[in-house]
């Protein structure tokens, strides 16, 4: 399993409390990728354990995904100051870590949570970028199914998108059943 023990490729190394590596089943068929650690994640070293993570777990549990089936990570492994969006330099510096992590796990399905995850995964560095045009859709890319949806923080800020999010997770479950486990 790929883990980062030290990295000083960018200035985030000097403001973080710790590197926040991915978490979950190192042989998972499905990986969820978010943006960057928040304050709670920075404190405890585990991704998606703050408010956004709690909401994500509700949706995962709703469709039957338990921690032994999935892997959760972020494109950036260190908390940006004031929870700002990671810079292009930070995304580029952390991208090799994400690639190594994905190569180690080799999932069949990658779920990109939000614009930053999508931008990093596909090397799209110009802004603005709107998830709404892709949300709920998937493509086949480099041997994997890649599914696009909102980051859970977007749902916390826009509760009117909750029903859409439920539909996205139902579709993710459907894809999982088709590709991985028809009995799921």
Q: What is the pLDDT of residues 72-123, one digit of tens each?
A: 999 999 999 998 999 999 999 999 999 999 999 999 999 999 999 999 999 9
Q: Is residue 6 part of a domain?
A: no
The pair of structure tokens assigned to 70 is 């999935």
Q: Which pLDDT tens digit goes with each residue over 39-50?
A: 999 999 999 999
| CATH code, domain with 62 | 3.40.470.10
Mean pLDDT of 20-34: 97
* Angle ∠(156,87,15) on CA atoms, nearest 5: 85
Q: Is residue 4 part of a domain?
A: no
Q: Is residue 165 part of a domain?
A: yes
31 vs 106: CA distance, rounded Å: 9
pLDDT band at 149 (very low <50, low <70, confident <90, very high): very high
Q: Name the domain count of the chain.
A: 1
Q: Is residue 7 part of a domain?
A: no
Q: Is residue 2 part of a domain?
A: no
Indicate whether 165 pLDDT > 90: yes
Q: Is residue 128 part of a domain?
A: yes
Query: Domain residues for 22?
Result: 12-179
What confidence score (pLDDT) does residue 20 get?
97
Question: Please, how many CA atoms are within 13 Å of residue 73, restricted to the half-sphere of its CB?
Answer: 32
What confidence score (pLDDT) does residue 128 get?
72
């Amino acid at each position: 399993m790929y883990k980062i023990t030290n990295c000083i490729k960018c200035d985030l190394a000097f403001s973080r409390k710790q590197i926040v590596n991915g978490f979950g089943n190192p042989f998972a068929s499905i990986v969820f990728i978010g943006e960057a650690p928040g304050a709670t994640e920075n404190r405890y070293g585990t991704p998606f354990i703050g408010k956004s993570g709690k909401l994500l777990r509700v949706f995962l549990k709703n469709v039957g995904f338990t921690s032994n089936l999935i892997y959760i990570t972020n494109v950036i492994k260190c908390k940006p100051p004031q929870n700002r969006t990671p810079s292009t330099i930070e995304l580029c510096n952390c991208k090799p870590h994400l690639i190594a992590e994905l190569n180690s796990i080799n999932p069949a399905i990658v779920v990109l949570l939000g614009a930053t995850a999508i931008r990093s995964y596909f090397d799209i560095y110009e802004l603005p970028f709107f998830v709404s045009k892709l949300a709920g859709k998937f493509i086949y890319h480099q041997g994997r199914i890649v599914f696009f949806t909102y980051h859970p923080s977007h749902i916390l800020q826009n509760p009117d998108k909750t029903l859409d999010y439920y539909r996205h997770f139902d579709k993710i479950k459907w894809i999982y059943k088709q590709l991985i486990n028809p009995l799921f």
